[in-house]
Amino acid sequence: MKDRTLLMIPGPIEFEPAVLAALAAPTTSHIAPNFIEAFGQALERMRQVFLCPDGQPFVVAGSGTLAMDLAGANLIEPGDKALVVNTGYFGDRFGALLERYGAEVSQVRAPVGGRPSLDEVAAALQQEKFKLMTITHVDTSTGVITDVKGLAALGQQHGTLVVVDGVCSVAGEELRMTDWGVDVALTASQKAIGVPPGLALLVAGPRAMDAFRGRSTPVRNFYADWSLWLPIMDAYESRAIGYFGTPAVNLVWALNVSLGQILDEGMEARFERHQALSRACHAGIAALGLGEVPVEPGFAAHTMTAPRYPEGIGAADLLPRITAAGAILAGGLHPEIRAEYFRIGHMGAARMGDVLATIGAIETGLAGCGYEFERGAGVAATAAAG
């Protein structure tokens, strides 16, 4: 029997064969002409995927947390005021990170599964002048999506830089940097961008670059300092040689392949496909009688779903059974409710068949735990909604 257990966690995800093939190619020098071409093309494609034609892309070896560091280290100076729109674990992380660079951080929070309203955020922005606000587009710990369009408009109104943690959203959720007034969007390779873990990706719009250039103190993180990476990004884009830190050569090739596939699909079609996958997943989960962490359907992300366990059933019992039935899912992450829910990723290369197989595996797992439900109801509802 082939080992084809689906990896349906919210990152890393299943990757396209052509992307994986790029990783297996013999590594060249980081200044080989074919690598320079691929890196340059990847940077050009980043602008298109982030929908930010005049943005400055950065591709740096590291995980998503480094992408957050690239934003925080370069845009915060000691004493700057920052506002975190907090919808979970990764909002907490951004707050702690900004404080490390000397920011005075305020938070607008909501109970777990909720999100701060636009009015609450507007009130916070009115009270104080913030240099920067962070928004987690999809907080992977809760599966809650924020209204980036509405929040970014508020940031623009108040002259506050808008930084979006799009680690669980970019290339899956609708995100239009330029049109919506987002100044920085960042992600990691292993999510909807569709490349194995190892790349921190960020696009900075003109206002963010101006704020960076206007700093009066040096960037307090050597590896993350944009002034060291900018000449490198410029060099690759102009198909010239540059060196600061050795790029992750094969990952950059893989990134270029994946970005090409994303653009071939088209951003609008990609947003719609993720919405369809999420509709189908929610329908299946609801038909099985399971609740979800987001407290309103409109708060639920399209790249992942966060179902609650039924009464009396927990991770240790259910998740291994689901894996045995063909799909690897993730347990809870948010410290307040960690034991109460699990997480399904459906982004990037995921297809409707993967969601159907996942709901089928969940049914098998639930049945194994002795949960009473109508067998097949989840799969039928998923198929009907997809």
Rounded-to-integer distance, Cα 30 and Cα 174, Å: 33
Shortest distance in whole angstroms from residue 341 CB to ligand PMP: 15
**CA 1, chain centre distance (Å):** 34
Cβ nearer to ligand PMP, comparing 133 with 188? 188
Residues in binding contact with ligand PMP, number by CB under 6 A: 12
Build a one-symbol-per-residue string for 242-281: x at contacts with ligand PMP by CB under 6 A, - elsewhere: ----------------------------------------
Of 8, 11, 199, 237, the residue at the interface with ligand PMP (CB under 6 A) is 11
List 23, 163, 167, 286, residue binding ligand PMP (CB under 6 A): 167
349, 353, 354, 357: CA torsion to nearest 10: -170
User: What is the CB neighbour count within 10 angstroms for residue 234?
Assistant: 13
Q: Nearer to ligand PMP by C-beta: 140 or 256?
A: 140
The CA distance from 288 to 174, in Å, is 28
The type of residue at 72 is G
Contact between 97 and 145 (Cβ < 8 Å): no
x/- string (CB under 6 A) for ligand PMP, residues 118-147?
------------------x--xx-------
- Among the listed residues 42, 103, 152, 168, the single contact to ligand PMP using CB under 6 A: 168
Give the pair of three-digit tokens for residue 7: 């990896």
Q: How far is the CB of 368 from ligand PMP (least distance, A)?
A: 28
Nearest distance from C-beta of residue 32 to ligand PMP, angstroms: 28
Cα–Cα nearest to 262, from 43, 20, 46, 22: 46
Q: Which of residues 169-208 bind ligand PMP (CB under 6 A)?
A: 188
State which residue, 41 or 140, has the beta carbon closest to ligand PMP: 140
Name which of 164 and 379 has its Cβ closer to ligand PMP: 164
Work out whether 64 is an interface residue with ligand PMP (CB under 6 A).
yes
CA dihedral 103, 147, 156, 230 (to 10 degrees): 60
Q: Looking at 5, 14, 44, 65, which residue binds ligand PMP (CB under 6 A)? A: 65
Q: What residues contact residue 37 under an 8 Å CB cut-off, 6+ apart?
A: 239
166 close to 52: Cβ distance less than 8 angstroms: no
Q: Which of 165, 174, 354, 363 binds ligand PMP (CB under 6 A)?
A: 165
CA distances from 351 to 13, 16, 155, 274, 356 (A): 12, 11, 35, 9, 9
Q: Return the range that interacts with ligand PMP (CB under 6 A); candidates 22-30, 59-67, 145-153, 246-254.
A: 59-67
Shortest separation between residue 50's beta carbon and ligand PMP, angstroms: 16
Using CB atoms within 10 Å of the CB of residue 184, give its burial: 0 to 12 exposed, 13 to 18 middle, 19+ buried. buried
**Contact partners, residue 116, CB within 8 Å, separation at least 6:** 85, 86, 87, 108, 109, 110
Q: What is the pattern of x (binds ligand PMP, CB under 6 A) and - over residues 79-108?
A: -----------x------------------
Residues lying near ligand PMP in the complex (CB under 6 A):
11, 63-65, 90, 136, 139-140, 165, 167-168, 188
